[in-house]
Structure 1
Amino acid sequence: MSDLEALLIREARPGDLEALIAMFAGDALGGHGDTTDPEVRDDYREAFEAIAASANDTLYVAELDGVVVGTFQTTFTRTLTGRGSAVLTIGSVQTHADWRGRGIGGKMIEAAVAEARVEDCRLVQLMSNSNRVDAHRFYERLGFTPSHLGFKMKLKGR
């Protein structure tokens, strides 16, 4: 059986938090200020609880043999544009560095798009750091097109 046949994509649980923190902290390119410092665990725990309590957000993990190898988050938004249609935004997509290149990211995106279809969304969108050239090629291979220019305003140092 290939790795992908055994891949389980499921909603994240509190017990996954340590693996998720380590995955994000290990991402030097992301620049989000993520860290495994125990002093900030409450920040992550509070964010996890808020996501879990949200009716519009879901945090997922990709798991192989009990090991968290990837993650992503989905957010549903209803807009007035598009005649009041629903939009699914995929965020925080991350495959553990040791597991990249095996199709896990594709399976995670496939699961998110399937969720959007079930919810009759008009559009699936995501943003990617402008420095992630490999990720851009990956998303384009999956059918996404770079159609908009994004802007951000940092309000905190992280």
Structure 2
Amino acid sequence: MSKQVTVEKARPEHLRDIVAIVNAGATSVRAGKDFADWQDYRPAFDALREAAEADIYVALDETGEVVGTFQIHFLKGFAFQGRPRVQLESVHVRPDRRGTGIGRTMMERAEALAREAGACMVQLTSNREREGSHHFYRRLGYDQSHLGYKKMFV
């Protein structure tokens, strides 16, 4: 288990590592593509950090190294008496650190943030190619309750 991991809001000095971790986990239309310089992600990173309804987090090991990341979005809605729901995106653990409890620690932090915000649920999507991730989410109590659809514009 990864007891030494801390989860905190991402800072600018984490950006390079976040990009590397997310791109290492690329699947489907992103798999095998050469992505531009990590600095090209700066506007998206800054926008997430500045948005009132979203944020980006990192998991840091005992040495301060970035070993995981996720984005959290607080969505307004009408159902459940207007309570927000939380959408998690880009949940990634560095490939060499998977299976050590980092993902569980990140999910626990995300769920705590959702509860603090009064959210009615946490939802996420996972690429159908990520069978290991599906097993992970089911072990954490997530139900595959819906079918998802996407229309790609890239």
Q: Same fold (TM over 0.5)?
A: yes
- Tell me if the contact between 1:25 and 1:35 (Cα under 8 Å) persists in the aligned partners: no
Aligned to 1:11: 9
Number of equivalenced pairs = 152
**TM-score (norm. length: structure 2):** 0.92
Q: Distance in 2 between matches of 1:24 and 1:36?
A: 11
**TM-score (norm. length: structure 1):** 0.90
Q: Distance in 1 between matches of 2:81 and 2:121?
A: 12
Q: Distance in 1 between matches of 2:26 and 2:52?
A: 31
Q: CA deviation at 1:53?
A: 0.9
Aligned to 1:145: 143
3-state SS, counterpart of residue 5 of structure 1: coil
CA 1:155–1:31 in structure 2 vs 1: closer, same or farther (change >3 Å)? closer
Aligned to 2:43: 46
The percentage of aligned residue pairs carrying the same residue is 37
Consecutive unaligned residues of structure 2, counting only runs of 5 or more, are none
Q: Distance in 1 between matches of 2:118 and 2:46?
A: 27
Aligned to 2:53: 56
- Tell me if the contact between 1:20 and 1:71 (Cα under 8 Å) persists in the aligned partners: yes
Consecutive unaligned residues of structure 1, counting only runs of 5 or more, are none
What's the Cα RMSD here? Answer: 1.6
CA 1:26–1:46 in structure 2 vs 1: closer, same or farther (change >3 Å)? same
Q: Distance in 2 between matches of 1:76 and 1:82?
A: 14
